């Protein structure tokens, strides 16, 4: 079946602009995670959804970052007033307890803030 | 102490060598453990889960030591294609399964 998809694959924006990143998880996966990864660095946890609710938002780096999930499926990560330090690859993953909580990752969105 | 720690490497080994990585974790309540592989500029992909009894998949063996709070990954007969970053992942249930990723161990297998 289809894996996790993310769009856009690449996004170049100017400092101060807002961006919206989209994640389509695997059908039936109730858990959805957002991470970001800077060049040569590890994965930084941002936010986790169980269904439509976000029990853990502790990783969001500032109030410029927000995320929502609707219908227990698609999620969007919004970054307002982007800064150059927001440049990174934003990865989405989904999982299901029926599959042992293995996380399946999307290909990521590479965000570049000029 | 970081929640999940890995030696970043790089581990530079010749083809055919056996190499082992360890990963330590700080939360004794951690319940599930995984090794992921990440190729350059690609997303992480599951390599194998780590079970209490240890598990083997071809040339790869994973083990869990709860007493000392570490997991290990052993790769036998290394191939050039094994070159990648290996990420240790620990899930701790605190009302939900929030995975914690290590920063990864880089492996370079050379001819």
**Counting one residue from A and one from B, how many pairs have CB atoms under 8 Å apart?**
51
Separation of alpha carbons B101 and A36, rounded Å: 12
For residues B73-94, one letter each, b for 16 or more C-beta atoms within 10 angstroms of the residue's C-beta and e for the rest, the string is bebeebeeebbbbbbbbbbbee
B103 touches chain A (CB under 8 A): yes
DSSP at A15: T
> Residue A52: its pLDDT value, please?
87
> Residue B99: its pLDDT value, please?
83
DSSP at A67: E
Separation of alpha carbons A73 and A114, rounded Å: 31
Mean pLDDT of A73-90: 97
pLDDT tens digit at each of 111 positions of chain B: 578 999 999 999 999 999 999 999 998 888 889 999 999 989 999 999 998 888 999 999 999 999 999 999 999 999 999 999 999 999 876 545 678 889 999 999 999
Contact A101 B32 (CB under 8 A): yes
- With beta carbons under 8 A apart, name residues in chain A contacting B3: none
pLDDT tens-digit map of A46-58: 998 988 888 778 8
Separation of alpha carbons A96 and A93, rounded Å: 11
Contact A56 B89 (CB under 8 A): no
Least Cα distance to A109 among B81, B47, A82, A62 occurs for A82
Contact B89 A103 (CB under 8 A): yes
Is there a contact between B95 and B29 (Cβ–Cβ < 8 Å)?
no
Contact A43 B44 (CB under 8 A): yes
> Residue B94: its pLDDT value, please?
53
Q: Any idea which residue has 């209490």 for tokens? A: B52
- With beta carbons under 8 A apart, name residues in chain B contacting A91: 43-44
**Min distance A109 CA to chain B CA atoms (Å):** 10
> Residue A36: its pLDDT value, please?
94
Supply A9's token pair: 């694959």
Q: For residue A75, name the pLDDT band (cuts at 50, 70, 90).
A: very high
Which of A69-73, A110-114, B14-18 bottoms out in mean pLDDT, i.e. has the lowest? A69-73
């Amino acid at each position: 079946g289809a894996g996790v998809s993310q769009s856009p694959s690449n996004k170049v924006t100017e400092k101060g602009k807002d961006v919206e990143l989209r994640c389509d998880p695997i059908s039936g996966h109730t858990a959805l995670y957002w991470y970001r990864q800077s060049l040569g660095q590890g994965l930084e946890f941002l936010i986790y959804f169980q269904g439509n609710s976000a029990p853990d938002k502790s990783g969001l780096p500032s109030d410029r970052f927000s995320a929502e999930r609707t219908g227990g499926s698609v999620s969007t990560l919004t970054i307002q007033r982007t800064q150059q330090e927001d440049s990174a690859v934003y990865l989405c993953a989904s999982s299901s307890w029926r599959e042992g909580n293995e996380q399946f990752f999307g290909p990521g969105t590479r965000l570049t803030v000029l | 102490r970081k929640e999940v720690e890995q030696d970043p490497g790089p581990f530079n080994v010749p083809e055919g060598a056996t190499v082992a990585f360890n990963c330590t974790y700080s939360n004794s309540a951690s319940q599930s453990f995984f090794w992921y592989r990440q190729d350059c500029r690609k997303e992480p992909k599951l390599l194998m889960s780590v079970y209490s009894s240890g598990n083997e998949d071809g040339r790869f063996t994973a083990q869990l030591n709860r007493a000392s709070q570490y997991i290990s990954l052993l790769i036998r007969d290394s191939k050039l294609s094994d070159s990648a970053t290996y990420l240790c992942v620990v899930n701790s249930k605190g009302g939900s399964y929030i995975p914690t990723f290590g920063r990864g161990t880089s492996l370079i297998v050379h001819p």
